[in-house]
Each structure stands twice: as structure tokens, then as C-alpha cells.
Structure 1
Amino acid sequence: MFTGSIVALITPMNKEGKICHSSLKKLIDYHVLSKTKAIVSIGTTGESATLSQEEHIKIVMLTLELANKRIPIIAGTGANATTEAISLTKRFENSGIAGCLTVTPYYNKPTQEGLYQHFKAISESTELPQILYNVPSRTGCDLLPSTISRLAEFKNIIGIKEATGDLSRINKIKKLVKNNFLLISGDDATALDFMQLGGHGVISVTANVAAKEMVEICSYALKGDFLQARIMNERLMPLHEALFIESNPIPIKWLAKEMGLIKNDTLRLPMTPILDSTRIQLKKALQNANIKNS
């Protein structure tokens, strides 16, 4: 369940900024039908930073309920305070959650020892599988391979979502961890190259609107058929890139609305509505991708 195409799910909201249940159900059904391997609920793309902890928990539990065991749900449980990350993690024990995605503590800029102690404390507080999440461009800190190696010794720390875009990291990490430690890309544009170098899949933004295509690309790649995977991926490359012209999830929410997957592209401040220039580029990328969502 932790390999292949995993979607970093958007959080659909109505015009008042409240959670849109009907759109959330439609998204989940879409991913079940498309054979997406798992859903990450309330990660960066799910707007975790603008949700209260109460809302965070409520949406994850609602996603679990609507999924109804048809697709594994991974809960985003990261926080910049270790106690808060532990509190979130423990809230999902015995809930049916398949595992947790835990981002490095943002803003604090901890040392490597601080990062180690943070994730060690979370791991020791729960039996839930933990996937580390490294995205220095958003958090201001970088979880280095040597620290990942130390953390990989914990039984329930099973892998990492690497969103640095630095492909040289893969080999550095692989040399330091056991073969069953999962390496998951967090960058759609380089995900195929990541898998060709030994990665196991991607936690994808693009999959929100191109679920079947991302499943197929990952399937080909994990079978070693990189020729077919690359042909498909070249079609999606303009989309991978266009989805990050503005801060995620501004473009992906607008495109999901444009494609009829959600009712509104409502965002919470400080995220702002999409620019007209970005819409034009997204429409061109979507046309190039020739996505079929029927």
C-alpha cells in the first residue's frame, strides 16, 4: 500500500471555507476507481497549515469513513512541536489509519540531533507505521541521509517521502538503510527518475487530477518498463511543472474544480485565488496531457 502512486489529497471546501463532504466523497471514489494505491489525508496539499487540530482530525476521520476500507488512508501528523505531533499521531491509533506521514518540524530550524530526537520521540509513542517527510523548501530544515539512517533503525519508521528534488539523495540514502526501507518521491517532475534510481513510488500532487495516468506510470516503472513510463510521463510533464507555478495547492484546487472533481476551489488565507496567467498555462498543460477522467 506504500508503493506506486499515492495521492496527496486536496481538501475540498465550500465557499464559506468549510469542508465539502460531497466533493471529498467524489475525490475518494475517483481514486478508488483509478486504483490509486493510497491517500494521504491532510498533508501539505491538504492545507494542514490553515486547519485547526480539531478540523485536521475531523477531516482525516471523515476520509476514513468515506473510504470505507476501499483504499488505505495515511494521515498527515507532522507539527513543529514534538508534543503536538505525538498528540496527533496518538489520536489516530486504532482508527483504521494505515500509517502516518510526518513532516520535519518547520520554522524551528532544528539541528540534525534535534530532528533525530523529534522523530525518535514520535516513533516511541506509537506502533503506527511512520513515513518521514523531508521538504526543505517549505520547512527551512533538511533531514540528511546520515540522520535518516539512524531513524531507519526504528521498527515503525518504514520510509521517507523525499521532496528535495535532489536525485543524488536516493543512492546516498540507499547505501545507509535496509533494503525494505521505502523511498518515496515527493516531487512529481522528478518522480520517474527517482523510481528509475531505486525509488518505490510517489506521493503525488498531479494524481489529484490524473490519477489513472500516475498509477500507470508508476506501474510501468516498478515493473522496469521505463520506456512506456517515460512516454506517458512526457505527456504529463507540462502539468507536473504548471501545478507549481504558484504555491501548492492553489493550482491543483483550481484545476480539480475545472475538471468537475470538486465544486469550489476555495482556499484559506494566506493562500489566494489563482492568477489568470496561471489558468492559461494549466489549461494548455491539461490539453497536452489528454487526461480522461470519465
Structure 2
Amino acid sequence: MAGSIPALVTPFQRGGALDLVAFEDLVDWQLQQGSNGLVIGGSTGESGALDESELAALLEIGVRRAGGRVPVIAGTGGAATGKALRLVRLAAAVGADAALAVTPFYSRPTQAGMLAHFRLLADDGSLPVILYNVPSRTGVDLLPESVAQLAPHPRIIGIKEAVTEPQRMSALLQLRSAQFAVLSGDDPTALRALRAGADGLISVVANLVPALTAELCRAVRNGQMQAAQEIDAMLAPLYAAAASEPNPIPVKAGLAMMRRMNDLLRLPLLPLSDVYRPALAAALRHARVPLHGALAA
């Protein structure tokens, strides 16, 4: 589990149904552009707005189009362990390669509660589990001491860490092994994490610039730090634009600007506010993303 792994958005039709044609096109494009894996049905994919049959439909497309070339990772988060386990089993049934399991949100369990949660998911044996820690969204922080207790589990194969302090990544990298990968979950600090030894990046902006994020990871792996810094500088305005409103609002707006899909979301999320659109378009142009019409200026 390494390299650039986009956390894919979920396209919707005007009436609110899944746009499976647009999703298949997105998956194919990501594979053509060199992405090293696909996360489907995570928070960037509006997991909270998807029912289980919709998650299954998205995963089936990802598995079929990937054809074993890259791992397909299913978002399997839930506030309750029972729901998370149900999603892990669903993902296994449709052929996903791993489960990305976020810390239980809203319920704010203790460290001991999270240990029990993740061990149950892993012990079930349906899929290998990747831990996902993103306290800014979940309200709870899986501490490195807890990760150290989980990392030796043979069915827990890594962590996506979205805490950005360098000390956190440093502590997790001490747990890294051939069986346990450490992945950055924060685009703006990904280069720093990669240079420190992280295996890869689960990325939001890779929805928009998959070739560049893949090249960023490859450059660091090959010791081409100057090239990596140049790519990171090219992407810096896009990192900021992607955070102008809650994820995945800006990324979907960017994909619409690129004419890859519309920018529709499910409530309570709304399309990007007009005030942020010029900066997003400018950031895409800075990253040399082809735009059309007035946006190309």
C-alpha cells in the first residue's frame, strides 16, 4: 500500500441518484493517470449520504475497472462498530482489497474503546484493515500509543493519518514495517510526510491532478527532492482552494470546471460558493490543468 491513492468523489445525477457512468469515467481516468490505488466511499465520497446498496455499486465498478492492477479500498466508517463491520463484510463480498476504517465518530469512544473496535473489525477476517485517524472530523484522536498496540495485528495493514503535526508522523513512522504502511491523509503536508518516510498519500486533490500527485510520490521515492518540491509548489494554491469550503465541495466544483462531472452534492452539502470559484480556477490553471472557455483565461 503505497504511492498516490485518491479518495474519490461520488458523482450524482440531477435527480439525486448515483451517476455511475461519470464514476466509471473517473475511475478509468485515475487509472490512466497513474494512481496507485482507489479509495471509494470514504468521506470525500460523501459516505454519510450513501446507503449500502450504493456503496456496493460504486465498489463493484472500482473492482471491475481496476482489474487487480491497483488496490480498491472501501470506506467502511461508522459511529457504531456493528455498522462498520457490516460495511467491511459488504466490501469484501464485492471484491474490495482492503477496508479504510475511520475512528468511530460522534460517540467519542475512549482509547480502549477504539482498540476494541478495530480489533473486532480485523479479527472478523473479511478484509485487511487500514486505520484512519482524522480528529477534525470525528471528534476523537487515535493516539500513537494505541496505534502501537494495533500495528502488530496481521490483518491491520496501515494507517491514514490526518493529524498534521510533525511529531505525530514521526511517532507513527517508528511503527512502519513491511506489513504496516503509514500514509499521509493531508495534502498540504504530504511532501513533508513522504520525505520523512511515509509510504504514500491518500489524497483529495488527486481527484483533480492524479498524474501530479502520483509523480510527487514517485519523485520522493526516487530521491528527486527538487522535482518533488517543484510539484508541491505547483499544487500549493490548489491545496488552499480545496479547503475553502468543507471537502468535497471544492473538489467537485473543480471537476465540473474540468468538465468531468457536475458539481452536485447531497444535502446538507451545497455547491461551492461563487466567492471561492475564481481562486479555484486560478489554482487549477497554476497546476496546468486544462480548462475551457472563460475559465481558461
| TM-score, structure 2 as length reference | 0.94
- For 2:23 and 2:57, locate their aligned partners in 1 and report how far apart those are by CA, in whole Å: 13
Q: Give yes or no for contact 1:103–1:133 (8 Å, CA) kept in 2.
A: yes
Find the residue that maps to 2:12 and give its secondary structure. Answer: coil
Q: Give yes or no for contact 1:89–1:126 (8 Å, CA) kept in 2.
A: no
Q: Does residue 165 of the first structure (1) align with residue 178 of the second (2)?
A: no
How far does residue 61 in structure 1 lie from its aligned partner after superposition?
2.0
Structure 1 191/252 Cα, relative in aligned 2: closer, same or farther at 3 Å?
same
Find the counterpart in structure 2 of residue 268 from structure 1. 266
Q: Does residue 26 of the first structure (1) align with residue 25 of the second (2)?
A: yes
Q: Does residue 40 of the first structure (1) align with residue 66 of the second (2)?
A: no
Find the counterpart in structure 1 of residue 127 from structure 2. 128
1:136-215 residue pairs with structure 2 within 5 A? 136-176=135-175, 178=177, 180-215=179-214
- For 1:149 and 1:70, locate their aligned partners in 2 and report how far apart those are by CA, in whole Å: 30
> CA deviation digits over 1:235-275, x for unaligned, max 9?
1111011101100000000110110111x111011101211
How far does residue 49 in structure 1 lie from its aligned partner after superposition?
0.9
Name which structure has the greater RCO, CA cutoff 8 Å, separation 6+: 1
Between stretches 47-56 and 35-44, larger displacement belongs to 47-56
Q: Give yes or no for contact 2:5–2:201 (8 Å, CA) kept in 1.
A: yes
Find the residue that maps to 2:43 and give its secondary structure. Answer: coil
1:1-294 residue pairs with structure 2 within 5 A? 2-93=1-92, 95-176=94-175, 178=177, 180-262=179-261, 264-291=262-289
Structure 1 194/93 Cα, relative in aligned 2: closer, same or farther at 3 Å?
same
How far does residue 70 in structure 1 lie from its aligned partner after superposition?
4.2
Q: Give yes or no for contact 1:90–1:126 (8 Å, CA) kept in 2.
A: no
Q: Give yes or no for contact 1:133–1:160 (8 Å, CA) kept in 2.
A: yes
- For 1:250 and 1:206, locate their aligned partners in 2 and report how far apart those are by CA, in whole Å: 12
How far does residue 292 in structure 1 lie from its aligned partner after superposition?
5.4
- For 2:150 and 2:239, locate their aligned partners in 1 and report how far apart those are by CA, in whole Å: 31
The aligned amino acid for 2:23 is L
Q: Give yes or no for contact 2:41–2:74 (8 Å, CA) kept in 1.
A: yes
Q: Give yes or no for contact 2:60–2:95 (8 Å, CA) kept in 1.
A: no
> CA deviation digits over 1:90-146, x for unaligned, max 9?
122253311111100000010000010000111111242111000000000000000
Q: Give yes or no for contact 1:93–1:126 (8 Å, CA) kept in 2.
A: no
Find the residue that maps to 2:168 and give its secondary structure. Answer: helix
How far does residue 147 in structure 1 lie from its aligned partner after superposition?
0.3
The aligned amino acid for 2:102 is V
> CA deviation digits over 1:178-233, x for unaligned, max 9?
46421101100000101111111100111101011111111001122211101111
- For 2:179 and 2:195, locate their aligned partners in 1 and report how far apart those are by CA, in whole Å: 17
Q: Give yes or no for contact 2:181–2:199 (8 Å, CA) kept in 1.
A: yes
- For 1:269 and 1:96, locate their aligned partners in 2 and report how far apart those are by CA, in whole Å: 29
Q: Give yes or no for contact 2:119–2:150 (8 Å, CA) kept in 1.
A: yes
- For 1:180 and 1:192, locate their aligned partners in 2 and report how far apart those are by CA, in whole Å: 22
| TM-score, structure 1 as length reference | 0.95
- For 1:167 and 1:270, locate their aligned partners in 2 and report how far apart those are by CA, in whole Å: 33
How far does residue 278 in structure 1 lie from its aligned partner after superposition?
1.0
Superposition RMSD on alpha carbons, in Å?
1.5
Give the unaligned 5+ runs of structure 1.
none
The aligned amino acid for 2:76 is T
Find the residue that maps to 2:44 and give its secondary structure. Answer: coil
- For 1:189 and 1:237, locate their aligned partners in 2 and report how far apart those are by CA, in whole Å: 7
Between stretches 38-47 and 223-232, larger displacement belongs to 223-232
- For 1:46 and 1:184, locate their aligned partners in 2 and report how far apart those are by CA, in whole Å: 19
The aligned amino acid for 2:134 is V
